[in-house]
Amino acid sequence: MNDAARAREAFLEMLSVERAASTRTLAAYADDLSDLFGWLTVRGREAMTAQTGDLEAYLADLAARGMAASTAARRLSAIRGFYRFCLEDRRINSDPASSLRGPTRRRALPKLLSEDEVDALFVAAGEVEDAAGARLRCQLETLYAAGLRVSELVSLPIGAARMAKDGAIMLRGKGGKERLAPLTPGACEAIAEYMQVYDAFLPAEGAARDRAAKFLFPARSASGHMTREAFARTLKDLAAAAGLSPAKVSPHVIRHAFATHLLARGADLRAIQKLLGHADLSTTQIYAHVLDERLKQVVNDAHPLAKGR
C-alpha cells in the first residue's frame, strides 16, 4: 500500500470514528478519492504531491464528463476533507485543495469557425480597398495571429506598431497582467500597411486628437480608441460579405478559432494557455473538449458503421 492509499484509509477511519460517517458516505468518499488517484496516476502525478493546478484540471475533467453538479460537489468535499486531514496529520506540508471552488453549471463549448471560414473572412477583408479596409485587415490579422481579447485589440497603444516590426507586441490583459504575443508575418505586414493610412482615423485637432493619438486604432470616443461594439459590428458586416452568418462571427469567436486551430495542428495546451493569457490551465482545456466533440461528430457523420449496417 502506497502513501496515498494509507492516507486515504486513515482519513476514512477518522470520518468513521470521529464524525460517525455512514457506511454509504465512507464508500462514496473512498470511490471519489480512488477516481482522483487514478486520474493523477495516468497523468504522471501523485496524490501526495499534487498541486492546486492538478486538482483544478481534475475538476474541469469531471465537468467535461457531464457529471451531475451534486456528485461533483460531493467529490470536491471528499478532496477538500482528505487534503485538510493530510495537512493536519502532517502527511503533507501544504493544502493544495484549500482554494478550490465548488462546481458550477457546465460550461458551454465555444462556437467554432473552420479554417476555411476564417480564410473567407480574410478574402472578404482583402476586397475592401480604402483606408477602412487597411484598418480592418490589420485588426483581423492581429486578432487571429495572437488570439487577443477584443478589449486588448481595440486598446492597443500606438507603440505596438513599433514593436510589431520585431514580430511581437506587448499586451496588458486581465488584472493588468502583461504578456508578449508573437505575430505572424502577415500580421506584421498588415500593421505596416495600416500605418500608412493611420492619420485618416485621427480626429482633426485638439484634445480629442491628442487622446486618440495614443492608440493604434484611434477614434473620436471617450476612451480615444475604437470601441469593442464598433469593432464587433464591423466584423459582422465582414462576415456577411464573406457569405457567413453574422450571428456566427464575433471577436471572441476569432479568439476561439485561434486556440482550436493551433491545438488541432499539434500545439501544446500549456503554450496556448500562455498565448491566451489564461491564469489557469483548466480554462484553456475547454478547447481540448471542443476537439473531442468535433472528432465524435466526424465519426458519427463519416464512419460506415455509425448508423448501423
Q: Which residues are catalytic?
A: 149, 174, 252, 255, 278, 287
Q: Is the dihedral of CA 142, 144, 147, 149 positive or negative?
A: positive
β-bridge partners, 182: 168
By the 10 Å C-beta count (0-12 exposed, 13-18 middle, 19+ buried), 202 is classed as middle
**How many angstroms separate the CA atoms of 184 and 106, rounded?**
34
Asked if residue 255 lies in contact with residue 287, where contact means CB atoms within 8 angstroms, the answer is no
Quote the distance between the C-alpha of residue 225 and its chain's center: 25
- Name the DSSP letter for residue 242: T
What are the b/e assignments for 207-232, b being 16+ CB within 10 Å? ebeebbeebbbbbebeebbbbbeebb
**How many angstroms separate the CA atoms of 56 and 44, rounded?**
16
β-bridge partners, 175: none
